[in-house]
């Protein structure tokens, strides 16, 4: 089935909304209140590294459009983030823009506080930059593309609004008030903008902003799901009928690494000269967890103060632990 038609079937809607984001598909079998996972995160993400075709275009996009600070730059790379933390590193190493139909990065998300999420929406409105605001119930999201076509998400975690998933006729969400709606419903922009506290767009995003989840196109969902669970993540959803799974690392919001095969099964990674993800970074809370993760992987390379592995699709990951 063609990719967009397949996603429409999953969502059970007559209209594909925005950028086809299904960013917070949540547990169809278990109520949030029944989940026995820890309330504390035991892993987090460091900076994500992207390959782009133009550093100058990236600088404009990440500062003026996304509201990040340019923290460091060389002739072929640049770091962007908050005042004290790097979130995204751009490498001018691609020759062509992002290519559809390959495995690899689907999108990644920068998670923001309620007020910062409102400010991100306000900034995009002021710049008139194309974006797709979506309500996943488990989160509020805004999707947009960078100059090379890489999809990025701003997300505000709202797990308190979520009750369960209804699976008949596609995946739909039931919220804490009993209302059932699409897994990707239109976002109420007026409600979001009521939380806007500061319209000063010269200030970078706050230090509590973070890379909150990674969503991957997997060449095989089952093998990728098994890999991430062996690293130490916990199963959140596993929907083979929808070619989708995601895993958690604790906390009330559990959509941390997601994987789907909506682009096609057994698709290779995109050519190395195309824009996309270079690698991403998982930081475990303890050395014990890191050591357990390393032992679960057949091939590991230790360098640059961390351990480098590839998931079954071929995505490069840096593993480390808190110092």
CA pseudo-torsion sign 222, 23, 253, 294: positive
Dihedrals φ, ψ of 219, to 5°? -75, -20
Residues 266-319: pLDDT tens digits? 999 999 999 999 999 999 999 999 999 999 999 999 998 899 999 999 999 999
The answer to whether residue 51 scores a pLDDT higher than 50 is yes
Domain that holds residue 244: 3-321
Read off the pLDDT band of 3 (50, 70, 90): low
Read off the pLDDT band of 119 (50, 70, 90): very high
Structure tokens at 291: 């050591």
Report the distance separating Cα 70 and Cα 89, nearest Å: 10
What is residue 13's predicted lDDT score, i.e. its pLDDT? Answer: 39
User: What are the distances in angstroms from CA 181 to CA 60, 143, 175, 186, 243?
Assistant: 37, 19, 8, 10, 21
Structure tokens at 187: 């976002």
Read off the pLDDT band of 27 (50, 70, 90): very low
Report the CATH number that the domain containing residue 244 is assigned in CATH.
3.10.180.10
Dihedrals φ, ψ of 15, to 5°? -135, 130
Question: What does the pLDDT average to over 42-66?
Answer: 98
Pairing of strands 43-45, 276-284: antiparallel
> Helix, strand, or coil here: 66?
coil
Report the distance separating Cα 173 and Cα 6, nearest Å: 18
Report the distance separating Cα 276 and Cα 49, nearest Å: 9
C-alpha torsion 92→84→321→89, nearest 10: -10
DSSP 267: P
- Closest C-alpha to 5, from 265, 313, 268, 264: 264
Residues 132-186: pLDDT tens digits? 999 999 999 999 999 999 999 999 999 999 888 777 777 788 888 988 989 899 9
Report the distance separating Cα 2 and Cα 171, nearest Å: 18
Report the distance separating Cα 321 and Cα 281, nearest Å: 10
Instruction: Kindly report the pTM of this predicted structure.
Output: 0.89
Q: How far is CA 15 from the centre of its chain?
A: 23
**What's the number of domains the chain is made of?**
1
Read off the pLDDT band of 100 (50, 70, 90): very high
């Amino acid at each position: 089935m063609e990719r967009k038609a397949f996603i429409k079937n999953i969502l059970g809607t007559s209209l594909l909304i925005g950028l086809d984001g299904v960013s917070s598909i949540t547990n169809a079998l278990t109520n949030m209140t029944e989940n026995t996972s820890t309330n504390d995160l035991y892993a987090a993400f460091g900076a994500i590294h992207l390959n782009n075709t133009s550093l100058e275009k990236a600088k404009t996009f990440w500062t003026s459009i996304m509201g990040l600070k340019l923290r460091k730059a060389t002739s072929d790379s640049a770091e962007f983030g908050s005042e004290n933390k790097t979130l995204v590193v751009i490498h001018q190493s691609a020759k062509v823009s992002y290519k559809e139909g390959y495995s690899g990065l689907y999108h990644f998300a920068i998670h923001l506080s309620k007020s910062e999420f409102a400010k991100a929406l306000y900034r995009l409105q002021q710049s008139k930059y194309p974006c797709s605001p979506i309500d996943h119930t488990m989160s509020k999201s805004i999707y947009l593309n960078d100059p090379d076509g890489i999809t990025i998400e701003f997300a505000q975690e709202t797990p308190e609004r979520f009750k369960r998933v209804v699976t008949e006729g596609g995946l739909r969400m039931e919220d804490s008030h009993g209302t059932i709606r699409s897994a990707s419903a239109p976002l109420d922009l007026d409600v979001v903008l009521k939380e806007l506290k500061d319209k000063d767009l010269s200030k970078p995003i706050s230090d509590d902003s973070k890379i909150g989840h990674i969503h991957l196109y997997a060449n095989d969902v089952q093998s990728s799901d098994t890999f991430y669970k062996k690293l130490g993540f916990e199963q959140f959803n596993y929907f083979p009928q929808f070619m989708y799974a995601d895993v958690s690392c604790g906390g009330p919001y559990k959509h941390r690494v997601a994987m789907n095969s909506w682009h096609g099964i057994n698709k290779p990674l995109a050519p190395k000269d195309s824009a996309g993800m270079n690698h991403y970074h998982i930081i475990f809370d303890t050395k014990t967890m890191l050591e357990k993760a390393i032992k679960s992987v057949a091939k590991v390379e230790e360098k640059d103060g961390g351990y480098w592995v590839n998931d079954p699709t071929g995505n490069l990951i840096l593993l480390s632990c808190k110092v």
